[in-house]
Chains A and B, each alone.
Chain A
């Protein structure tokens, strides 16, 4: 691995390209709409994972030695597909087929191992349990992969998560990392309005996770905790404070963008906002 500064610079550019592709995909989706806000809140995390931290070969997404990634909050899939594209597992044509009949890329991930999609997710509250199973398999078979699961904070309303959060430390799964996309919004309002989850970090900690809380858009910080906070016999929980719709002034913290059609004029203004930094990246 390169030094952290180089890695962070690389991931920063990757995240910008991903945001550009999310705009294109959201526009292509047209009237079928897309989960725009909750994808943009995880982009800096998925970029850091796929672009730097994970052992991954985009040319061979089924490589047995790969680190496993599970997007439990499956509606954030634009932040997943665009990362897979950056590492070469998905083509741009595939990205642009998003939500079209026959496309491998629908509004929630559908298992497709040759293309890097590990599981079908989207029914909330199921991903962490899958991750535990994959982690136990790695532990029992003495394989050295890690398992990364991204959860949503609204998703934590589902009780099944708490069964999994209880189980993972009991099983001493040092190869498991849960990252909470703490954007504080869910479909019809804020967490506080709909169903507050309170102090998420304290909850993970009390269940026995090694827990750290970070700025989920600070790539340097994301990178640092993913590479330095792992424990040998304890799962790691990262509470990543994020902004729903991050990256574009019209969508940041505006919950209308949970699932919404991107208009051409919004697309053009978003491109302008990305503009300079994107050109600099190319």
Chain B
């Protein structure tokens, strides 16, 4: 998939879920072994056209995620390149043990995509939000975990996952429109973080929707003469240790920002690397602080948990002042 201004704008408008479905339809040609499973969620995943135009590569499994994950693994065991998808809480937690046994333990290779993760569906309540998936998926051996920063990266991650040699969980966040981080093409490599902005004082390590927010926060910090770098760490597992080590060597403060629980997600993954280093700088962990405290509109939940550019910048300024 190639990102340019036109695709970036178009994808941004439709959001990450629809981008996933549209991109997958593009990728289907020439992939004879591809099969896509959805749990009565084809329209939610932008797969309606896929389902109608190439039914031979589509399998409806109904609202039964545990069965769906098992069917996916059975198909994979016969050498098929399997993608399955539904909303993130159901794609990860409802069938968590099937993921462990079939994908982690037996290592059947499936790409599974969690739709509308984070808190974008806040108006539907926390049954439909997902602030736990990174933590839970990260704890299962033999699973790669990717959290794309925008729609273009969603397309790139999907393509990379299809060609990857191990199961991949792709966590889709953000609404529509979903502001683009990338408007031109770049090299996406699983496990390799991308430095989007250099900075000498602070390094913000962000994932998913928080990459865009962090870039804006860095602009705000620059107005206050604070030089903040921003790293997009799209792969949460395996984590890019070298990128974290380099950031630690050049920063007074590491900041992690994620639309996920601060327990067990990106912040924890970065801290696990940092704790083995000598003289690593302190870390400010921003995210959803281990609660289901606020339901409602997406922007209001982000505001409540301080996950807006303004709040991120303020929290960083305050932290630097207190040191």
Q: Which residues of A contact B (CB under 8 A)?
A: 111, 118-120, 123, 125-126, 128-138, 140-141, 159-160, 163-164, 166-167, 170-171
Contacts and interface: CB of A to CB of B under 8 A. Distances in A.
Contacts of A129: 66-71, 73-74, 98
Contacts of A132: 67, 70-71, 74
A119 B77 contact: yes
Given A111-B106, A130-B102, A136-B59, A163 B74 contact: no
B74 to A, nearest CB: 2
B contacts with A: majority SS: helix
B77 A130 contact: yes
B80 interface: yes
Given A133-B70, A160-B66, A126 B98 contact: yes
11 contacts: A120-B101, A125-B66, A129-B67, A129-B73, A130-B102, A131-B74, A133-B73, A137-B78, A160-B98, A167-B62, A167-B64
A120 B77 contact: no
Given A120-B105, A123-B101, A126-B101, A164 B70 contact: yes
Given A120-B101, A120-B106, A166-B62, A137 B67 contact: no
Interface residues of B, number: 27
A166 B74 contact: no
B67 A164 contact: yes
B106 A133 contact: no
Contact of B74 (A125, A137, A140): A137
B85 to A, nearest CB: 16
B285 interface: no
Given A130-B71, A137-B79, A140-B35, 7 more contacts: A126-B102, A129-B66, A133-B72, A133-B74, A134-B74, A136-B74, A160-B98
B80 A130 contact: no
A31 to B, nearest CB: 26
Most B Cβ at <10 Å: residue of A135, A163, A170: A163
B90 to A, nearest CB: 12
Contacts of A136: 59, 71, 74-75
Contacts of A126: 70, 98, 101-102
Given A120-B105, A126-B102, A132-B70, A163 B77 contact: no
Contact of B76 (A118, A123, A133, A167): A133
Contacts of A134: 74-75, 77-78
Contacts of B35: 140
A130 B77 CA distance: 9
A120 B106 CA distance: 7
A133 B102 CA distance: 12
A164 B75 CA distance: 14
A120 B103 CA distance: 11
Nearest to A137: B78
A140 B71 CA distance: 14
B4 interface: no
Contacts of B73: 129-130, 133
A138 B78 contact: yes
A140 B56 contact: yes
Interface string B152-187: 000000000000000000000000000000000000
A133 B98 contact: no
